[in-house]
Chain A
Amino acid sequence: MRILLDNFTKKFDDVMVINNMNLEVRDGEMMALLGPSGCGKSTTLFSICEIYQCNGGRILFGDRDVSNVTSQHRNVGVVFQNYALYPHMSIFDNIAFPLMVKKMPAEQIKKEVHKIAELVHIGDLLERKPSQLSGGQQQRVALSRALVRKPDVLLLDEPLANLDAKLRLEMRSEIRRIQQETGITAVLVTHDQVEAMSMCDRIALMDHGKILQVTTPNDMYHNPQTDFVAGFLGNPPIAFLDGVITNGQIQLKDSAIQLPLPSRVPVQPDGKIVRLGVRPEYFGNQAGIELQGQVSFVETQGRENLYDIRLGNGAVLRSIQPVRADAGLGDSVSWPLDTEQILIFDDQGQRVA
């Protein structure tokens, strides 16, 4: 069922956290709310399930306005960061709880719980207590409990944050599998761009209570609307260079280097200040304009190495490329920059092209 936030506003006392947010999560879609700490993504999530009451605007599930419906009656499933399992109940009772409070007959509860436990692969854990489960298993239980009463929407609040790296990888695909098998509309809150990109159909990137861009992971990576979005997505992160348009070319700040504008970019007025975004995979690999610099940092990642190259004007470019022996710390190198792939932003951080 689709979720629509229509001019949604949330204040805590006098502190405005979210002001007039508009967002639509389509039916059956998994949407990531991605952003740094304190950007309002969890606030938005908790307002969708009415743990927080919204102070303005409307929240719609399908075509139904649920702004004034209490959390008990919104029919949402929520997975909390710490799973929030009931420590005194068995796993079966934990999963059965949403059905039990609805006074569903015991026979039917049993059937439903076993069905969902099979889907989530915890059928053999039902007799245990939460304290006897590993983090990944607790996560699965929390997911079962959220899904067992067939909610209209599934909300996940940093569901992978408490897992170790290996489990995180496993649960990432598991959550996505379960979401796709059930076809439920889901909202995932995360600060981890890898989670957002790998699990979700679309990403809403937030900062300071505002949505900066909503699009597919692929599009957001290649066509960021602002330098913040470009900087938030991608690992290793994008590098920025300051420059100014001179004679239809880009003159790097405090440097003699001039770079051509990418061919897709329309003509820019002379004297316009720009920021160039260069992703590490486009520097040091393909053919392009050679840039001189000094290796100031090397990070080994196994198959690839990450290099920081300090240019003559002090700016730093990042490069990721297969391990090579000819570039060590402090060496002078001359590597090609693929100017066609440069992202260009204006001095306000808005994408020019």
Chain B
Amino acid sequence: MRQRIGLLGLGFMTPALVMVLVFFLIPVVMTAVFGFTNMGTATGISGGEYLLTPKIVKQLEIRGEFDKQSLTALSSNRYQVTEAGLAKAASDGLKSAYIQGLRDSLLGREYSSKRDFERALKKIKDRPRKVRALKKSAEYFSQSILNRRYLTDHEFKTALAATGVQLSATEFDQVLSASYTGWIWTTDNFTNMFSKPDTWVVAFNTLVYVLLVLAFNIGFGLFLALTTFYLPSGQSAFFRAVWLLPRISPPVLYVLLWKWLTWDTGFISTVLGWFGVPAFNYMLGSVGSAWAVVVLINGFVGASLGMILFSSAIQAIPKSILYASEVDGANRWQQVRYIILPQLRWPILFTTSYTTLSLLTSFEYILLSTEGGPGNTTNVWALEAYFTALNNYAGNLKYGYGAAMALVLVTLGVLVSLLYLRLFKFDELVARPKIEN
């Protein structure tokens, strides 16, 4: 009987567990996994091939660890007519008379330059008439390893050995890894991240962003909750509805209104223009005004959450306690300071922690408004990660690096939540109320 109930419970919980796994745990795990790769547009996300290009040879040369001669040998182009090359050419539909001619007169011969080989080809009867086709047919017999794709490392090693270039074991491995086009495991993302000065600029921006918007959210939310609490109920309902509008309006439209308000041909500039103030783009015109706009855009959206939570918490304070403070002689300010605010401790702390975490990862309003500009001055961590991994002008999307940035954010979020839990004694706060009213 016990056993059956246990299984039943597990059965009921399974959907929830699957959801948690699929939608919460796996994304974090995948982020962590991607963070330790160099995946990107260049590498793709599936496996890679081996491709040695002249550019890679040049890079190896710059490293200076290679014998110059072997590098030259690697990049030199050698031609030899082989049965394999002939078979390939036949299967690609070259004329059989031409192939037969090649086999008869050139099989086994080696040429150290393309020009010599092409000259030899021109002597074959039944050769292609067009020069271009002739040049193309030469490529079937190129023995160079350059610009050829090898699907497995075995193929590549064989080809490398077949060139006859003498390489030491380390040189061999270096060529192998430099030629690999797929992604590899690496911690370079993190070392690069922390050594780039831009990273610290973005980190500082994020700190400023979170602190300013947090302060605005909590402060303005409290202000709205308190002022609407003291208004007659009809008016307070109206004002609360008005302050909810930013939250419920579509972000794109909301930001569009801000653009309309702040652009150099927008509302503010137009009105100020009547008083002789020159037009100014408040959203992107200066660092200060850009920050002000970013904080206000996010702040007005976030303040409504605080307002609702604080309002309901104030409503939950027993009326008699407020009455008592009034007959005890407390004026409005003293009532707020000594009676209401202390009892809002829990909602304030909750909103603070919740808002901190959501601000750390939020970038949508910045993306829609300033896009991190002017310059890089309002760029925040999450936005930078988004640009790096998913959307940038150059088109070289670095999934691995972006995931590494996101992983830093996740780690930071977990640390901050733990800190909040410790600092605010969460378990005490969510305990049962001690006074019944």
CA distance A100 to B334 in the complex (A): 10
Interface size on A, residues (CB 8 A): 32
CA distance A101 to B339 in the complex (A): 12
CA distance A198 to B142 in the complex (A): 119
Question: Would you call A64 an interface residue if the criterion is a C-beta within 8 Å of the partner chain's C-beta atoms?
Answer: no
Q: Are A51 and B435 in contact (CB under 8 A)?
A: no
CA distance A70 to B324 in the complex (A): 13
Q: Are B329 and A149 in contact (CB under 8 A)?
A: yes
Give the distance to chain A from B339, nearest Cβ to Cβ, in Å. 6
B residues apposed to A, CB below 8 Å: 318, 320-321, 323-331, 334, 338-339, 342-343, 345, 433-435, 437
Which residues of chain B are within 8 angstroms of A78 by Cβ–Cβ distance? 323-324, 327
Give the distance to chain A from B17, nearest Cβ to Cβ, in Å. 39
A-B Cβ contacts below 8 A, count:
74
Q: Are A97 and B320 in contact (CB under 8 A)?
A: no
Q: Are B329 and A86 in contact (CB under 8 A)?
A: no
Q: Are B437 and A82 in contact (CB under 8 A)?
A: yes
Which residues of chain B are within 8 angstroms of A71 by Cβ–Cβ distance? 323, 326-327
Give the distance to chain B from A350, nearest Cβ to Cβ, in Å. 38
Give the distance to chain A from B395, nearest Cβ to Cβ, in Å. 58
Q: Which of B320, B321, B329, B339 has the most chain A CB atoms inside 10 A of its CB?
A: B329
Give the distance to chain B from A319, nearest Cβ to Cβ, in Å. 42
Q: Are B330 and A72 in contact (CB under 8 A)?
A: yes
Give the distance to chain A from B4, nearest Cβ to Cβ, in Å. 43
Q: Interface residues of B: mostly helix, strand, loop or mixed? A: helix
Q: Are A87 and B329 in contact (CB under 8 A)?
A: no
CA distance A73 to B328 in the complex (A): 9
Further contacts, 14 of them, CB under 8 A, given A73-B329, A86-B321, A87-B433: A50-B327, A51-B327, A72-B327, A72-B330, A72-B331, A75-B329, A84-B321, A84-B324, A86-B339, A87-B321, A87-B435, A101-B330, A101-B331, A149-B329
Q: Are A88 and B343 in contact (CB under 8 A)?
A: yes
| Residue interface mask A96-112, B partner, CB < 8 A = 1 | 01101110000000000
Closest Cβ neighbor of A130 among chain B residues: B435
Question: Would you call A76 an interface residue if the criterion is a C-beta within 8 Å of the partner chain's C-beta atoms?
Answer: yes
Which residues of chain A are within 8 angstroms of B326 by Cβ–Cβ distance? 51, 70-72
Q: Are B323 and A51 in contact (CB under 8 A)?
A: yes
Closest 9 CB pairs of A and B: A131-B434, A84-B320, A84-B324, A98-B328, A88-B342, A80-B320, A101-B330, A87-B435, A71-B326
Residues A85 and B327 in contact in the complex (CB < 8 Å), given A80-B320, A101-B334, A101-B338: no
What would 6 A/B residue contacts be, using CB atoms closer than 8 Å? Answer: A46-B323, A78-B323, A84-B320, A87-B321, A88-B345, A101-B328
Which residues of chain B are within 8 angstroms of A186 by Cβ–Cβ distance? none
Q: Are B320 and A82 in contact (CB under 8 A)?
A: yes
